[in-house]
Chain A
């Protein structure tokens, strides 16, 4: 019988719901594969896609967002074996994939509870009904830690989506395959195109453009080194971006509200 030819995968960027090569045509070697090396134009286009996707995604009901996050968990469960081999197999890889799936499920259940947990009715000395509710910040830039490549990204991505934000994320530079494969999970998980955009490439090249981009409203920079963080904070000051510095992220309501804005309403009563 004839020898079967292997169909090898070309890893792609995930932008605006599409799997594309870098506009620059560049790639770099990581984990034995050539992966795309995103340019600042790819970053710009991703932010544009995220901005376009944001109104629709944030306007979905919290319950619908929860359904989609749960479906992402289902899709990830179905690809458990693929992720195990990508992450090197063995018990640590198993623990990482299981924790990533559990994270999606955990935040799927939280979407319609954030407003109750974080919202307040405030006592004020005047004829007003005064209340505070959390609202999504907008387009969130995100830096995934180098390790663990899957859980590190999911732990930051899931709370951002739970709150109704659109995301442009930079995958782990030395270990980008898990993130680029996660894009396939997101695409089949019914997430609207553009809500998550995943870029692989040189962090040093992309991060300054992400940090100074006027159309990015918040930046999860907890995975940055200290010198990087200082530069990010300076660049982010241009449009007063919310910068999140949390190093370790555990599933929690605080991880969601860290990327939300609080709106307080003074509603006149009795007049």
Chain B
């Protein structure tokens, strides 16, 4: 549980956050994304990408039937091929958690639920806490909460901090992922500040975006967040996970995130316990790339399950 801090402590914590070199971060992210990963290394990376994937569906039109199909795909992404691993988790709205839990029992695939008035986070604290608590009661192993960007941007860090702490307490023993929604934070400095704030308040993971706002996850923003995680680890010894989400549709981009993860945080983070990729349409592209590497011919959408 997060320890309560006084306003003065939080103030000094926030003042101690270094500013981000924007040009440097963007150049570093661009150079890392150019690295060429081929053949057996590519297959290894694609395998890891599947094992770290949060297969996501967050639509108003989600039905129990769609969740059932998603769960089957999560357990066995490529029907008839047991060499393709299961994904890490499925990520959905709280009302569908019970349905997913029923399908995924015993499979090792975890259930993640968004909560706290996703995607805007604009609701009352007790409603948010109750939502998180109910999601966990329904069987969620992980909770993806959103921060109150309105409060953060108006400088009310205390409110954001307390909310994260309260939700963390409410969703024990489930893991808590804190969505910063970097597309609404405006600057890299804000992203870094929000990352440190979320980690100090007890986040197990920090996550870039809801996927409902453009821009969603980008490489430079991810670099800033990963470096925050690294610095936080140096300061406190705590290992916090990272989850980019939103707009990651191709294997190429997924591999760029893995390269950045390797270069910034290292081998300790190259596992589903510390890294997740939030995506809905990425899985098919990864499966197609694996098929292409194995068969030697370019693949077609027509031969992979539609979500």
Contact = CB atoms under 8 A, between A and B. Distances in A.
Interface of A: 44, 47, 51, 209, 212-215, 235, 238-239
Interface string B256-298: 0000000000000000000000000000000000000001111
A231 B301 CA distance: 24
Most buried by A among B298, B299, B302, B303: B298
B41 interface: no
Contacts of B300: 51, 213-215, 239
Contacts of A51: 300-301
A215 B301 CA distance: 7
A103 B303 CA distance: 36
Most buried by B among A214, A215, A235, A239: A214
28 contacts: A44-B298, A47-B298, A51-B300, A51-B301, A209-B297, A209-B298, A212-B296, A212-B297, A212-B298, A213-B297, A213-B298, A213-B300, A214-B297, A214-B298, A214-B299, A214-B300, A214-B302, A214-B303, A215-B298, A215-B299, A215-B300, A215-B301, A215-B302, A235-B297, A238-B295, A238-B297, A239-B300, A239-B303
Nearest to A209: B298
Contacts of A214: 297-300, 302-303
Nearest to B299: A214
Given A212-B298, A214-B297, 15 more contacts: A44-B298, A51-B300, A51-B301, A209-B297, A212-B296, A213-B300, A214-B298, A214-B299, A214-B303, A215-B298, A215-B300, A215-B301, A215-B302, A238-B295, A238-B297
A51 B297 CA distance: 16
A95 to B, nearest CB: 39
Most buried by A among B300, B301, B303: B300
In order of increasing CB-CB distance, the 9 nearest A-B pairs are A215-B300, A212-B297, A214-B300, A213-B298, A214-B299, A44-B298, A214-B297, A238-B297, A214-B298
Nearest to B303: A214
A138 to B, nearest CB: 9
B161 to A, nearest CB: 46
Nearest to B296: A212
Contacts of B295: 238
Contacts of A209: 297-298
Contacts of B301: 51, 215
B181 to A, nearest CB: 30
Nearest to A211: B297
Contacts of B302: 214-215
